[in-house]
Structure 1
């Protein structure tokens, strides 16, 4: 039987002899997720509903945006009488389909919940109330699918609470005075997150070495720190962390009901065999192609001079064309189809099956900090994992380049005699794409023509088309960014010996408005980005090897001397950095519902471009039946090699996997 015949039999309730037919089809089309729906329907028809529910949950791990799975889970939970679970899955379906919590299914389930409550016993009522509270919590943050507005905690306070998506972390306010206003709105203020060591009205803190101990009180007032026989009286405003030095165990006690929160202590002394500082600088939207065509030394002279004695990777490619999926690749070492963080309206989190960047550095023995305001790498997405301290806020409001670099220098200087890892984000180059207000000196260097607003050149920042005026603004903004990076580099040179630090700089994507008209969407201008390294114990120079951004983790591990488990990752350690073999090709792809699917495969001999005719559907799947493709040399000359073309086409089909749609 073919797929259509199987589905027709299921719709008519005919199940005899059908399971072997479904399994036979699955062997031929192992990536067709419609098989999961067919099996779930089959088990529903024969009365094994729990088995069908289990299959659908496993299917959602492969593609969390499958509308059929969400709908069928709603149906099956309704059949077994779990109306609260049914409501959740129908609601999640609505959020993808219509962006509204409104459908006939939800109205029907709500009536059934009300009827169930009316008929319940006293004991059952309490259980139903617990389910309703859980459901309401899910609805408040739209079942984790709407973290797109950072720190969106409905009517709850935004500070003075644990992070909902990772309760190991406490959210505190952060400002110069350490005094918070009554109404805190994190999108327009800074927040400091700390991993909690202990909490209570009276707590003990074991100290094994000279450290800084972060302490927060949940109510403004006095508290006492006892260190052996000495007692120290302290006063703090609520919901901000203060740090206290200690080299012995502490007892901290507060007034009745004060509640003291202690973050993970930060060692102040370095261990041998480790760098004193590993620094990652992420510059959003920095194009390697632009630097090559316009001169790195001319465009970013301070950055060029700082990394002149380091390593420059000149064929380093991002896995995606925009920040959300690209940064997930850096942190996880996975391609977009693996980590699944690409759906613009439905939020997902960093994968749990691998250690992410912060966790790798923490395991390697470093005190870790992340200082940035990029809402696409916010703590709710999982970017808090592995970090002892996170300073966050929305870039442009309170976390611009001046603030980020100032806070980074303060943090590094406080821990300069320890082993620390610091990650910072610079977002100013993105201002050009979004047509935000430019700094005073940048405006002064541009003409009226170059300052013209060109918002119509693309419906989103991802889809920008070539624009010469934006290119000029980009060039001047790059010099602005370089000036402030220069302040950071001066501090590093003055404070750390060259052998004690490892500094890397990379970007997530280039810019669409740099791609010449008629160029492929995933052209070099959009996907070729810099990777700059200083402090590595290998010969400095230019690395021309083709490298993917998912290779960043093993490169960093190799240079810093810690291991990175590559299980579950697409990462390869390049030969230049001591690896055994070069990667077959780099992979850059665009999976964007409503747009065609695009992928680019590159190595030193070829560039393969592929684009579907059909747009990616709302369930994140796309048909590969009709497409266009090309095979060229990196210089742009056509390659006539049918065997190589077919190899690339086979790779695309295997790579896309469960995101393919089959007729």
Structure 2
């Protein structure tokens, strides 16, 4: 009988293989290295795999193939020092100096040790010297380019939107020009304020609109009433609009520079817009298109809302308006988040993929979601919906890649006071304005963040918090995620939930008064719960990972289900209920409760956070499997699983029952290894 290797034995095996491959390459025994690498790469596609393959190609005289391998490696492992360093070196050897410079800078940025940083600096200096010797660049050009590239080392992250990562305002500066995703951001309802900077960016709203720059003239043909958003990019002259044979001139007084101006044209026919200086023209919005089977898809995201807490308190008690609205639809009680905080969790919800695939995990470095991961909004845009997002969520700004699919985005950082009240009123105005349009609308409400962040500025919550609960017992953690149990925070959390529910009632009533439920699909969900709700600190405990997921609308029968679900299942559920096809390249599944074929046997939640141990919880209906590594996750997101510990815990007694479930433990050890094998590292 063949003995099955344990995960620890597999780790030792691939560690040894990696060492042997590296030794063979260093000894210039390429044939042996290739043989060993074939065995290694059959199972492991980590950063080492790409480096080994590239080095072998280079030593065999195939630098272009080596570059191709490394470019693919950087896509999969964007923060890895060695991949950028090797890529920079080979680009330099092949005299592709600009590419070499840039990758050496990224190698410096992602270096962990002083030795790595010094090697990258030395490499940059050597390739600069070579470029000057070959008379490709002058000394002054190299110095100027170095200063430009140094900006990469000091970039902000995408939370500073509508300022870019280099600290420059994006207001009225068209982005992604010449692509289908071209857009421009302008101010929104600011009355006299024309721009923002790093200091003022949180104080004002902005509006993103998809369209194209125009200088000269452009023509459209319409079959019904449309609205065309127009914005100046500078204090330009008049804009001329010709509708069929009638001409209109819009002067500076008609078109304030610090906003989009929505121009309604009711007559069908031929429209010509012309301007002598550059303006930005949004794509025409059809006001009376042919209705879709689902006319409105509305996704309401409430950040940090724990379903475990709602169940403990009573959903009807905590959120009576939400309960009465969604009891006519499907309320799921067993949806688990795949990640413990907003950044990776929201990316998973919007792509239907686990975080080790979408890579939205490293909070210290700028990173834009890869276009290889199609966003939920893109599916609706491709089907002809008018797609809009109204949000105060700094972890899902357009700069992170969330502009894809959306026609219109209203944003202000929540900390600048763009909360549920304002967002819900903007949503009602949006739906009232485009009442006959097929709408896909997403809302992000961050008000519950106030409790963990110890901000108390909402009247309702203050009035309903007694003096005995006013003073928090414990201070905020290093982040809101790390905030520990505090019974006074628990009380304030309930009041904030009630406040949001009161505000949501206005939206629910608007929907009931203006739509037939068979024409719409409404979703309410969250990304994670709260750690401070439980006196046992566990970032993968039920108060943190169990979240609400409720759906009402077309073809949804009233029901409550305890089917195991993951937050990435929200993605296929929304598509299915909206009568759109579900793609095959996602990790999310359509739950049986919504028409799927097979229930999940378990849910998978993980924590991949730099400088913290890697953690996993796999939940069945009666037991949970927990895994934690000995070593912290590295800055490049690689994980060393040597010496990991794992156990099985009974849900009801919370006791370790691993001795009764040894085979189950080994099964899940292997599952985690297979799940993470391409992000593993062997060095400590």
TM-score where L is the length of structure 1: 0.91
- Alignment check: 8 A CA contact 1:218 1:239 kept: no
After the TM superposition, which residues 73-472 of structure 1 pair with which residues of structure 2 at under 5 Å, given as runs? Answer: 73-97=87-111, 103-105=117-119, 107-108=121-122, 111-112=125-126, 115=129, 124=136, 140=151, 146-153=157-164, 154=166, 156-163=168-175, 168-176=181-189, 179-181=192-194, 185-197=200-212, 199-220=214-235, 221-234=237-250, 235-246=254-265, 247-254=268-275, 256-257=276-277, 259-448=278-467, 450-453=469-472, 456-472=475-491
Deviations 1:27-46 (A, max 9, x none): 57524532332333334444
What secondary structure does 2:540 align onto? coil
Q: Once structures 1 and 2 are overlaid, which stretch shifts more, 44-53 or 500-509?
A: 44-53
Question: Residue 52 of structure 1: which of 55, 66, 74 is its match?
Answer: 66
What secondary structure does 1:163 align onto? coil
Q: CA deviation at 1:348?
A: 2.7
Give the total of aligned pairs. Answer: 654
After the TM superposition, which residues 20-59 of structure 1 pair with which residues of structure 2 at under 5 Å, given as runs? Answer: 20-26=34-40, 30-59=44-73
1:630 corresponds in structure 2 to 647
Distance 2:504 2:468 in 1: 28
1:621 corresponds in structure 2 to 638
Distance 1:248 1:442 in 2: 53
What secondary structure does 1:315 align onto? strand
Q: CA deviation at 1:140?
A: 4.1
What secondary structure does 1:289 align onto? helix
Distance 2:17 2:169 in 1: 55
2:602 corresponds in structure 1 to 585
Task: Give the RMSD, CA atoms, in angstroms.
Answer: 3.0
2:4 corresponds in structure 1 to none
What secondary structure does 1:231 align onto? strand
CA pair 177-91 structure 1, distance change in 2 beyond 3 A: closer
Q: Residue 7 in 1 paired to residue 22 in 2?
A: yes
Distance 1:82 1:282 in 2: 46
What secondary structure does 2:222 align onto? coil
- Alignment check: 8 A CA contact 2:174 2:213 kept: no
CA pair 159-314 structure 1, distance change in 2 beyond 3 A: same
Deviations 1:134-153 (A, max 9, x none): 88776546598832433443
2:577 corresponds in structure 1 to 559
- Alignment check: 8 A CA contact 2:226 2:286 kept: yes
Q: CA deviation at 1:477?
A: 1.2
- Alignment check: 8 A CA contact 2:565 2:603 kept: yes
CA pair 492-389 structure 1, distance change in 2 beyond 3 A: same
- Alignment check: 8 A CA contact 1:138 1:144 kept: no
What secondary structure does 2:227 align onto? strand
Q: Residue 17 in 1 paired to residue 17 in 2?
A: no
1:651 corresponds in structure 2 to 671
Q: Residue 597 in 1 paired to residue 614 in 2?
A: yes
Distance 1:417 1:38 in 2: 57
Distance 2:425 2:30 in 1: 70
CA pair 630-113 structure 1, distance change in 2 beyond 3 A: closer
CA pair 283-227 structure 1, distance change in 2 beyond 3 A: same
CA pair 362-306 structure 1, distance change in 2 beyond 3 A: same
Q: Once structures 1 and 2 are overlaid, which stretch shifts more, 423-432 or 166-175?
A: 166-175
Distance 2:32 2:669 in 1: 33
Distance 2:462 2:177 in 1: 41
What secondary structure does 2:610 align onto? coil
CA pair 96-434 structure 1, distance change in 2 beyond 3 A: farther
Deviations 1:231-271 (A, max 9, x none): 223221225211112233211123x32x2221112221252
Q: CA deviation at 1:108?
A: 3.8
- Alignment check: 8 A CA contact 1:310 1:534 kept: yes
Distance 1:484 1:165 in 2: 39
Q: CA deviation at 1:163?
A: 2.8
Deviations 1:312-357 (A, max 9, x none): 0000111100000000101100001111111121233334234311
TM-score where L is the length of structure 2: 0.88
1:608 corresponds in structure 2 to 625
- Alignment check: 8 A CA contact 2:316 2:323 kept: yes
Distance 1:183 1:610 in 2: 46
What secondary structure does 2:110 align onto? helix
Distance 1:139 1:208 in 2: 52
Distance 1:64 1:422 in 2: 31
Q: Once structures 1 and 2 are overlaid, which stretch shifts more, 648-657 or 600-609?
A: 600-609
Distance 1:135 1:249 in 2: 51
- Alignment check: 8 A CA contact 1:179 1:237 kept: no
Deviations 1:602-622 (A, max 9, x none): 233432111112111222122
- Alignment check: 8 A CA contact 1:163 1:380 kept: no
- Alignment check: 8 A CA contact 1:302 1:482 kept: yes
Distance 1:644 1:105 in 2: 46
CA pair 135-576 structure 1, distance change in 2 beyond 3 A: farther
CA pair 554-16 structure 1, distance change in 2 beyond 3 A: closer
- Alignment check: 8 A CA contact 1:63 1:658 kept: no
What secondary structure does 2:671 align onto? helix
**Which runs of 5 or more structure 1 residues have no equivalent in the other structure?**
none
Q: Once structures 1 and 2 are overlaid, which stretch shifts more, 444-453 or 276-285?
A: 444-453
Q: Once structures 1 and 2 are overlaid, which stretch shifts more, 410-419 or 633-642?
A: 633-642
